[in-house]
Structure 1
């Protein structure tokens, strides 16, 4: 019953609210910004969609994670940046406009990348005929869960800008509450082996989180991007949409164990991001 309530009702509702909230903050100009900051956008997207999955693959192999946990970690790497990245980027003094554009573009592109990364991970880590790849209809389902509420939110902002402005902060608050509830319910669902899995995947999740933040900052700096844009990219690739990863693990792949990496990551990423934001703010002030 709990699993049905979580996967059938709460998860789709949470994803819809989070994505609609993202749509309320977007305008067509956010998608056009790729022509204004092409170098920063390209570096951010390449880091998020190509570099991080490769790093995650090495981490999963290094820690010798059991197959379901390894796939769950890769699923988290495939998930786009979370809306909270904008808030943390603002706290850290980053380029928030760049964050908004990266979140929008990555959310759209992740429709295609998630299916490929998940299917590759299932094949690579399961190494048996027992795995079931994401079928076309499941990919369409993920697509609908991302694009439909974002489009609705953007339409509301275009049609009723004053209402969208008033609702934006409220929807963000509701999204945060839903995320907290998701973490609690997912933890309760997996409570029988949660502590064992934390011991198994905790170090890998923390390592991946720190790698996301550090690579997200220093790789753009290596390509001579300004510190503000490097901070924005770091937050974008360090704060993942854990709720989407949990939704795919439970509702698409029907595997509760695969939710554990996203659960642990969601618990620690806001702490490490806050510490990184404090460091970034101090660095930018000097």
Structure 2
């Protein structure tokens, strides 16, 4: 009964709150702003949509995950960046406007790309079990749970900007709390097998996060993208919307498989460590780089 309430009532509400909160921070300009830095946006989206599923597949094969956990890892890799990426990007001095733009565009793209990746994973690892696939009707449900709350949030932002400005921080805090509760709920549902799952997917989940963060940063930098945009790309690519992945896995109307939610739940807990370390390292490096400039500036003014 508790599991039924979690999957049919709490999870959709939880995801709606998070996606509504995302919508409150979006405007139409966020979708058109990509024209101002097309290289950074296109590279980040390419890594997210094309490279990460390949990375996840490599990790699945390297760690020889069970078929169901393998599909769960692919589902996680195909999920778009989450609002948590914006927070880490802000802390590290990244271009948060780019983060918001990437999250907006990627959330729309995921309606198409996520079902494709999941269906290919099911075909490859579970011999094409039709009962678990995301067929067109289920894809419409993914569309509904992802985009409708975002659209409502954007409409509220446009119609009541002062109210939205007051609500952004409380909704952001609520989104983080909801994310934690969703992860705990998913882990609790599989508590009997938790130790085994942590052993099976823990390292793979951390490596997915670390590799994603690295690719999201270094590929744009190699393409001469600015530092702030590369930082934004790193966190956008490296931090996935684990709540969306868990909701799709657990929802009776979608995949309805608790084991498939485990990689996203484990990732949702463990990703804070590499993401936090990266934000701390970037902040320290930026401060160290600024210190000589400050000292030089002080010496020049003193000499005058």
Question: Shorter-normalised TM-score: what interval?
Answer: over 0.9
Alignment of 1:25-40 (within 5 A): 25-40=25-40
**1:201 Cα shift?**
1.1
Structure 1 unaligned blocks of 5 or more? none
Match of 1:132 in 2: 132
Match of 2:196 in 1: 196
The two structures, once aligned, show a CA RMSD in angstroms of 1.1
Q: State which structure, 1 or 2, has the greater radius of gyration over its C-alpha atoms.
A: 2
Match of 1:265 in 2: 267
Structure 2 unaligned blocks of 5 or more? 290-304
TM-score, with normalisation over the residues of structure 2?
0.92
- Which structure ranks higher in relative contact order (CA pairs < 8 Å, sequence separation ≥ 6)? 1
Cα distance change on mapping 1:222 and 1:89 into 2, 3 Å: same
Deviates more, 1:129-138 or 1:66-75: 129-138
Runs of 4+ with >4 A deviation: 128-131
Quote the Cα distance in structure 1 between the aligned partners of 2:285 and 2:212.
19
**1:138 Cα shift?**
0.7
2:122, 2:129 within 8 Å by CA — same for their partners in 1?
A: no
Quote the Cα distance in structure 1 between the aligned partners of 2:250 and 2:12.
11
Alignment of 1:159-178 (within 5 A): 159-178=159-178
Quote the Cα distance in structure 1 between the aligned partners of 2:45 and 2:122.
23
Match of 2:282 in 1: 280
Q: Deviations over 1:134-162 (max 9, x none)?
A: 11111000101111110100000100000
**1:127 Cα shift?**
2.7
Alignment of 1:117-266 (within 5 A): 117-127=117-127, 129=129, 132-251=132-251, 252-266=254-268
1:183, 1:263 within 8 Å by CA — same for their partners in 2?
A: yes
Aligned residues: 286
Quote the Cα distance in structure 2 between the aligned partners of 1:127 and 1:224.
43
2:122, 2:128 within 8 Å by CA — same for their partners in 1?
A: no
TM-score, with normalisation over the residues of structure 1?
0.97
